[in-house]
Amino acid sequence: MSTGRRKSPRRLSRAGRLIRTIVLVLIATGVGYAVTLGPLHAARAKAEISDGIQAIEIADGVTITPAQHWLAEPLVHDLLRIPVLPDLRSPRVYLGGHAGLLLRSPDRVLAVEIESSGPGAEPEAEALLRQKASAIIGAGAELPAVRTETLASGHTVWHLDDVFAVLAVVDRGGTLVTVTAERPDGESIEAYRPAIGQLLETVH
């Protein structure tokens, strides 16, 4: 005859609830990480340093060739901003695909976001510029005039710029590529204008 005590159903039920709670918390934590900080960490894990020679794909066959020592990583888009909580971010980077690049200058001060925006011409380019500008300086703010230039590469570029940011759209033979250059600290980018111009010339 066994003399051991059997655990009561109540105690077993309490242990089961505790285990389920722990599992749910772990799942929620994992999912939360996967759509907040996870995409940024995954993008940084895929970062590469440019050698100034090898072209880097932006998306859909569109490439750019940064100068030596620029850092390139997949661009991660914010999906939703919630006050006091981490931003929700696109998990697309996990799947090996991305629609753009985030470049950082050799001193890691200037950040340049580059995206392939699909087919278009001047009207679509100007609309993209104004949309980007409104997101940066606020809807309803007065925007500078759009300037049009022809790059040495033969591509047309439309751009808006001031001392704090350069917004540009390059027409790569019917495919529009948007470029947003600014410093995360909000300081002047005047010293980086030659480097930004060189980047625009290498879009192909």
**Distance (Å, rounded) from C-alpha 140 to C-alpha 152?**
34
pTM across the whole model: 0.77
Q: Using CA atoms, how far apart are residues 60 and 92, in angstroms rounded to an integer?
A: 15
Q: Kindly give the confidence (pLDDT) of every residue in the chain, 204 residues in length, as a single tens digit, with 9 standing for 90 and above.
A: 455 555 566 665 777 788 888 888 888 878 777 777 877 777 788 889 999 999 998 877 889 999 999 999 988 877 777 777 777 777 777 777 667 899 999 999 999 999 888 888 888 888 888 888 877 766 566 777 788 999 998 999 999 888 788 899 999 888 899 999 999 888 999 999 999 999 999 998
- Amino acid present at 125: A
Query: Phi/psi zone of residue 173: left (φ > 0), alpha (ψ -120 to 50 degrees), beta?
Result: left
- Contacts of 14 by beta carbon, 8 Å cutoff, 6+ apart: none
- Res 124: pLDDT: 86
CA distance 72 to 65: 10
Which residue ranges form the domains of the chain, and what is each CATH number? 30-201 (3.40.1000)
Distance CA(200)–CA(193), nearest Å, equals: 11
